[in-house]
Structure 1
Amino acid sequence: MAQSQNTKVDYTDRATNLDGLTSGGNVMLGDVAFEYYNEKNVEDYIQIPWDEVDYVSASVIAKKTIPRFAIFVKDGRHFTFSTGDNKACLRAIREHVPADHLLRSPSFFQVVGAGAKGLWNNTIGRLGH
């Protein structure tokens, strides 16, 4: 069984880990780390120390609904979660991660637009040479 890295707990909530096969559990934000524990398998846990967090990206729908967020760590991996109250969870994360490291994920249309722009630029670049 995993030992918590935190000495003080700031926020807890029910959560779903959306990486690979989804699993339900609980998140705990404390003074040292973001921690996720699977409720059915105590050996399935994720502990992310705050000093390892590179940035946090939140999906925003209709300028106010946040269905999920992802925590990107410095070694290039990321972990995606959804909690009972994502806004409250992100507010608690904001206490440990600098504001300029909290980002909004690109919307579906922004991703499609960037892809179309890239295709257009590649096509024009080939025609010009």
Structure 2
Amino acid sequence: MVQSLNTKVDLVIDATAFTGFTDYGKVMIGDKGFEFYSSRDSRKYIQIPWEEVDYVIASVLLKGKWIPRYAFQTKKNVTYTFSSKEAKKVLRAVRKYVEPNHMLQSLSFFDVVKRAMQSRFKKS
């Protein structure tokens, strides 16, 4: 069995991890880090200490009414993507441990297209 990083747990909620294949399990947010444990395979888990989290990136739709997924970018430039039914609860719990200027909103579809067009027609 895997040993948890956390000594105090703030939130446990059902979630999905997008790591190659989708893994269903539980997300645990505590005082030492963010943890994901797969419900099918006990060997599949992700533990991210708060010291290693560089940015938290949220995909926001419908002017903040719906957050389909969120991602953690570590200082080693690895991005872990998750989703849960109550993403706002998760992000509020994470906000206690990650600085607000390190919590970002991802680009929308139109922003990505706009950047692509600008870089395509940019004069060198």
TM-score by length of 2: 0.97
Q: CA deviation at 1:84?
A: 2.2
- Please state if 1:96 is matched with 2:89: no
Q: Any residues of structure 2 matched to 1:1-129 within 5 Å, and which? A: 1-64=1-64, 65-121=66-122, 124-125=123-124
Q: How many residues align?
A: 123
1: distance between equivalents of 2:14 and 2:85? 6
Structure 1 runs (4+) greater than 3 angstroms displaced: none
Q: CA deviation at 1:87?
A: 0.5
Q: CA deviation at 1:83?
A: 1.3
Q: Which has the larger radius of gyration?
A: 1
| Structure number having the greater strand percentage | 2
1: distance between equivalents of 2:62 and 2:85? 19
- Residue by residue, what CA displacement relative to the aligned partner does 1:51-106 show, whole Å, maximum 9, x if unpaired? 00000000011112100000000000010000120001000000000000000000
2: distance between equivalents of 1:19 and 1:114? 27
TM-score by length of 1: 0.93
1: distance between equivalents of 2:85 and 2:14? 6
Classify the secondary structure of the residue corresponding to 1:93.
helix
2: distance between equivalents of 1:111 and 1:70? 18
Partner letter of residue 46 of structure 1? I
Identity over aligned pairs, percent: 46
2: distance between equivalents of 1:25 and 1:93? 18
2: distance between equivalents of 1:20 and 1:113? 28
Partner letter of residue 89 of structure 2? A
